[in-house]
Each structure stands twice: as C-alpha cells, then as structure tokens.
Amino acid sequence: MEGIKTYKENKTRYALLGILTVCECTGYDMKKIMENSLLYFWSESFGQIYPTLKKMEEERLVKSKEQVVGQKTRYLYSITPLGKKVLQDWLALPPAPEVIRNELLLKLFFSQPRDRQTVLEHLARQKQRVIENLEVFTATRQQVSSAKDPSQLFRVLTLEYGLRTLRAELDWLEYAEQRIADLCL
Amino acid sequence: MEGIKTYKENKTRYALLGILTVCECTGYDMKKIMENSLLYFWSESFGQIYPTLKKMEEERLVKSKEQVVGQKTRYLYSITPLGKKVLQDWLALPPAPEVIRNELLLKLFFSQPRDRQTVLEHLARQKQRVIENLEVFTATRQQVSSAKDPSQLFRVLTLEYGLRTLRAELDWLEYAEQRIADLCL
DNA sequence: TTGGACATGTAAGCCGTTACATGATTAC
DNA sequence: GTAATCATGTAACGGCTTACATGTCCAA
C-alpha cells in the first residue's frame, strides 16, 4: 500500500512558502513576520523553522543565498517555481476542520460558583490580552484598508476576521463578568 | 535542578478529571461527552484517553470499577479526593495564552484574486460547518438556560462563548463572500 | 445477517516546544 | 560596557493522531 498518506500533513512548510511569495527573507525574519501584525493566526518556533527550511531546500522548494556581513552570516531564502506550484496546489485543497482547544473555557466549564474569584481573575487577564490585540489590529487596519488594492483583499479579510472575533470575545468577556457579578447579589 | 517543570503540561488529565466530577463513566463515554454538545472546545483521541486513565489510576487520581455485562467488560471510572484536589489546583492556575493556528486564514492570506473561485469554495464549506454548529448550540441553549441553577452558570457561559464567536464567524463569512463577489464587477 | 455502536487498548511515528549552545551587532 | 536584538542551529522529549487489533451487543 505505498503512496497512501498515512500521517497528518505538516503545514509549517506552506506557511514558510507563503511568506516567501511576499518577500525574500531569513528564517529569523519569517518568525518575526508571523509574530507581528498580520500572521496572528499562525505561529512557528525556530525549532521548526530552521530544519524545515533545510529540508525544503533539498526538495528544491526554496533556495538560499549566503550573505556575509562583517563577521556574520545569514541565509536569505527565496521560493522556486516548484515551491510556488506546491504552495498553489495546497491552497486549493479544502482546509481541514480546526481542532479547538481552549484552556480558559475548559477551566470555566469545570468551575463552581465558589471559584468565582479565580474565574474573574482569569477573565480579567484574558480581557487584557484581547484589548491589546484589538489595539494592534485596529492600528493595522488603518494602514492597510486605505490601500484599495484588490490584490490585498484576502489579507484585509484575515485582519477583519481577527477584529470581529476579538470584538465578539471582548463582548462575551464583559457579559460573563456581569453575569458572575450578579451571582453575588 | 530537579523539580523544574521543563515541559509543557499535558492537559488531557484535567479534561478527564473534570468530566469525572460530573459523572462516573467509561473512557468511551468521556470521548462522547467531549464530542457532543458542551465540550466543543476540547477534544481527545482514544489513543490519549485510555493510557492517561491508566496512569491516573496509578497516581490515585481516579479509581475504576470493573463492570461485567454478559460477555463484555467495561471500566467505570470515578474521581478520588486526591484527583479533586489536583483538578482544583489546576483550575486556579492562569490559563496559558492559546496558540492559534487557522488553516483557512492561512490559505486566504496567501491567495490571490485569481484564486477567488477556490477561496469561495473554502468559505462555503466553512459556512456549512458553522451553520451546523450554530444549530446544535442554539438547541442546547434552549434546554440549558431554562434551568436557572446558578451552579450551571459557568457552563452556560461556555455555551454563550461558542454561540457568539460562531455568529461573528458567520457574519464574517458572509461579509467576505460579498467582498469577493464585488471583485468581479 | 450485517452494519453500526459500544468498548478497550497498543504501536508507530510525526509534531512541536523548550532548552541548550553560540556568537555578532547595535543602541543606550 | 552591557543589554537587547539579530541570527542560526541541535537535541531531548513529551504530545497527539492514526492505524491497527479485537470482540460484543443490538437493531434493521
């Protein structure tokens, strides 16, 4: 039974290939790009990035250019035509349903009214995070949406997704805090 | 440097302990409970569940009762006082920020206007899933929220979270479809 | 009688993070 | 000078899914 894909596919390669369609950059840069701004919906660790880049170079999906600056060496990666094709093929495949795991909700679900102080603290911490993310997203949209370039539409849409789900979460957090406060009356 | 927790903690045990605070049940039941209705925000595979239950029994967090029905043997698990304490301690710890990975958004982000047909198909498929989930959640809320039991508050809140974020996602999906349709004009 | 749900379990093997290791460069 | 950032990489190790394996019970 050769040829049957028996294991869940690793998506790291596609995230990296995708970034390389936007710009030539180093592994380090790719991490930054994921952390900052737009790729809030994806993350990778260096422990994944560097070995994956090596493998992809062997497979001719990317190529690297050694850059020596002073004493320092860095590797600028770029995508090959084969890499572009592999990425395109993957983009056309239906995304797998997401496996959702939400630790905050799990804790909430198993908490009792007597735990409400800790629950409120968990909610407050989460609210802080959501507000910070919302600020970043709002600022980013200001910059991006002014450019009416249709080639940017899909990127604007991912940002919009982030904004809307974060706002829904913030609303819920405030609703939840209120409902818990009502318990004490 | 003994005693330093060097690796990301496994949360399977807490999900299982939590379920056991609600009812005595088998590993098989626990999987069903996660799949159905309320635990939509958590999932585990049998490959995790059964070995974890074994380990937890050794650690005296749970105990099992062998039930022989006809030719069939099943193991009914229940939580011990130690298990309750371990769960309580975990509930009080601040949840770690979630690592978000959204394959649909990743694909969207790297798609170009020429790919809009496939993107629309991806969105339609996702919309179908969201609508189905919304129906389940709405039906569940009808049953649950009629019970005004304050001990159920946190569970109702997790359901409410699901409803609100799903609705936000549905709104976004429709908005996105509209924006993409506008491209063709 | 046959398919689906109930029920338990193991092994293979990739996934992914964390920790470790190393060193240059830049900004304060 | 010194801390933060740039920059690359490896090893350990648990996480987790998938596939495999086995068998019962019940309903159509």
- pLDDT digit string (tens) for A123-173? 999 999 999 999 988 988 888 766 678 888 999 999 999 999 999 999 999
Say whether pLDDT at A4 is over 90: no
Tell me what pLDDT residue B99 has.
Answer: 87
Looking at the complex, does the CB of residue A115 fall below 8 Å from at least one CB of chain B?
Answer: yes
Q: Measure the N-to-C terminal CA separation of chain B; round to a whole number of Å.
A: 66
Q: Between residues B14 and A142, which one has the greater pLDDT?
A: B14
With contact defined as beta carbons under 8 Å apart, do A122 and A110 qualify?
no
Looking at the complex, does the CB of residue A84 fall below 8 Å from at least one CB of chain B?
Answer: no
Say whether pLDDT at B1 is over 50: no
Q: What is the mean pLDDT of residues B19-32?
A: 96
With contact defined as beta carbons under 8 Å apart, do B90 and B5 qualify?
no
Say whether pLDDT at A176 is over 70: yes
Looking at the complex, does the CB of residue B141 fall below 8 Å from at least one CB of chain A?
Answer: no
Q: What is the mean pLDDT of residues B94-123?
A: 95
pLDDT band (50, 70, 90) for residue B3: very low
B179-182 contacts at long range (C-beta below 8 A, 24 or more positions apart): B179/A153, B179/A157, B180/A153, B180/B116, B180/B119, B180/B120, B180/B123
Say whether pLDDT at A6 is over 80: no
* Average pLDDT score, chain A: 91
Distance from CA of A68 to the nearest CA of B (A): 30
Say whether pLDDT at A17 is over 70: yes
pLDDT band (50, 70, 90) for residue B40: confident
Q: pLDDT tens-digit profile of A66-118?
A: 999 888 899 999 999 999 999 999 999 999 988 889 999 999 999 999 999 99
Give the Cα separation of A43 and A48 in Å (integer). 10
**What three-state secondary structure class fits A129?**
helix
Tell me what pLDDT residue A5 has.
Answer: 54
Residues 6+ apart with CB under 8 A from A27: A46, A49, A50, A53, A75, A77
Nearest residue to B101 (alpha-carbon basis) of A158, A41, A47, A169: A41
Give the Cα separation of A90 and A21 in Å (integer). 14
Say whether pLDDT at B4 is over 90: no
Tell me what pLDDT residue B37 has.
Answer: 65
Tell me what pLDDT residue A185 has.
Answer: 73
Residues 12-51 (A) near nucleic chain C, CB < 7 A: 12, 43-48
Rounding to the nearest 10 degrees, give the CA dihedral for residues B105, B110, B112, B113: 10
With contact defined as beta carbons under 8 Å apart, do B38 and B18 qualify?
no
Is B109 within 8 Å of A18 when comparing Cβ atoms?
yes
Nearest residue to B167 (alpha-carbon basis) of A124, A172, A42, A107: A172
Phi and psi at residue B31, to the nearest 5°: -60, -45
Q: pLDDT tens-digit profile of B125-168?
A: 999 999 999 998 898 888 876 667 888 899 999 999 999 999 99
**CB-to-strand D contacts below 7 angstroms:** A 1, 6-8, 26-29, 32, 46-47, 50-51, 53-54, 72-75, 99, 101; B 7-12, 43-48, 69-72
Tell me what pLDDT residue A147 has.
Answer: 65
Residues 6+ apart with CB under 8 A from B97: A129
Chain C bases near protein CB atoms (7 A cut-off): 6-20, 23-26
Tell me what pLDDT residue B8 has.
Answer: 75
Say whether pLDDT at B21 is over 80: yes
Judging by beta carbons within 10 Å of its beta carbon (0-12, 13-18, 19+), is residue A75 exposed, middle or buried? middle
For B55-105, the three-class secondary structure string (H helix, E strand, C coil) is HHHHCCCEEEEEEEECCEEEEEEEECHHHHHHHHHHHHCCCCCCCCCCHHH
A115 contacts in B (CB within 8 Å)? 88, 91-92
Residues 6+ apart with CB under 8 A from A84: A17, A21
Q: What is the mean pLDDT of residues B50-57?
A: 97
Tell me what pLDDT residue A139 has.
Answer: 87
Tell me what pLDDT residue B5 has.
Answer: 55
B96 contacts in A (CB within 8 Å)? 103
Q: Angle at which helices A153-183 and A116-146 pack, to 10 degrees?
A: 160
Q: What is the mean pLDDT of residues B58-86?
A: 95
pTM to 2 decimal places: 0.93
- Nucleotide nearest the Cα atom of B74 (by C1'): C7
Give the Cα separation of B15 and B30 in Å (integer). 9
Instruction: Determine what percent of chain B is predicted with pLDDT higher than 90.
Output: 77
> Hey, what are B114's tokens?
């020429």
Give the Cα separation of B156 and B170 in Å (integer). 21
β-strands A62-69, B62-69 pairing: unpaired
Cα atoms in the Cβ-side hemisphere of radius 13 Å centred on B2: 0
Tell me what pLDDT residue A141 has.
Answer: 86
Instruction: Determine what percent of chain A is predicted with pLDDT higher than 70.
Output: 93
